[in-house]
Structure 1
Amino acid sequence: MQAPTLNLVVLRASDPGSLASFYQTLGFQFQKEKHGSGPEHLASKTGGSVLEIYPKGTESLDTTAVLLGFRVPSISKVLSNLGSAVDIISRPSKSDWGTRCVIRDPEGHKIELLEA
């Protein structure tokens, strides 16, 4: 039996454009999409997965409890590109998996950056 693979992550944001700009700093490229009668949203396809950012509506569940993890070539470069506005929860430190850092995006989602 083949193991499942992650193909979709959906985030909700009060300001989808601003959140997409943050993730573009990590290397994601977004395009506007609309499926059927659903709302217009932003989508980035990478490594066989899709990261979508939908506008937060009154019926939307909060997605900030989700911890996202991304492997990046250089944590220091990501932090430098994000500048002084980045909310660092856990500074870069060595772990069993490589150098690890935890930050928070502008909407409050925690992101683990891993530099192997």
Structure 2
Amino acid sequence: MSAKLNLLVLRCQDLSASKKFYEQLGFQFHKEQHRTGPVHYAAQLEEMVFELYPLKPGAAVDQTRLGFRLSLEGDLKERLDRAGIEICDFTHHPKYSVYVVQDPDGRKVVLS
């Protein structure tokens, strides 16, 4: 069997804050709404769609941990600093660095 992840949906307390957070990491979202469903945002990542949906009232935020290998112009740490994104943890490998940050819902996001 061969499988590839092709969809990731996050439910967010503050949809606009989450959209802004992930945009600062380089994601480009467009607004969507399917039939009578909620307005949400989607970004195409190669063969995967990354979507941000509003969290239903009273629902708990999940504790999903995410990891993204980003292809950015410039230094990732400088980009995080400019965006005011606090680095929770940092690991340096010979060929790359890994930064752990938190999104607006408190999810750990590992960036390399």
Shared fold by TM > 0.5? yes
Deviation at 1:99, TM superposition (A): 2.5
Residue deviations 1:7-56, cap 9 Å, x none? 11111212211211111122111011111221110111111111111111
Aligned residues: 111
Structure 2 matches for 1:47-86, cutoff 5 A?
47-58=46-57, 60-63=59-62, 65-73=63-71, 77-83=75-81, 85-86=84-85
In 1, Cα distance between equivalents of 2:96 and 2:26: 20
What is the TM-score with the length of structure 2 in the denominator? 0.83
Gap runs ≥5 in structure 2: none
Q: Over residues 73-110 of structure 1, what are the superposed CA-to-partner deviations in whole Å (9 max), with x where a residue is unaligned?
A: 46x72332232631212124228x84322111122111
Query: How far apart, in 2, do the equivalents of 1:46 and 1:20 lie?
Result: 15
Letter in 2 for 1:105: D
Amino acid at match of 1:41: H
SS in 1 for 2:75: helix
TM-score under structure 1 length normalisation? 0.80
Between the aligned residues of both structures, percent identity stands at 35
Please give the root-mean-square deviation of Cα atoms over the aligned residues, in Å.
2.4
- Which structure 1 residue ranges, 4+ long, deviate > 4 Å from structure 2? none
**By percentage of residues, which structure has more strand?**
1
Residue in 1 aligned with 2:24?
A: 25
The reply on whether 1:45 has 2:44 as its aligned counterpart is: yes
Q: Which residue of 1 aligns with 2:89?
A: 90
Stretches of structure 1 lacking an aligned partner (at least 5 in a row): none
Q: State how far apart, in whole Å, the 2-side matches of 1:41 and 1:6 are.
A: 20
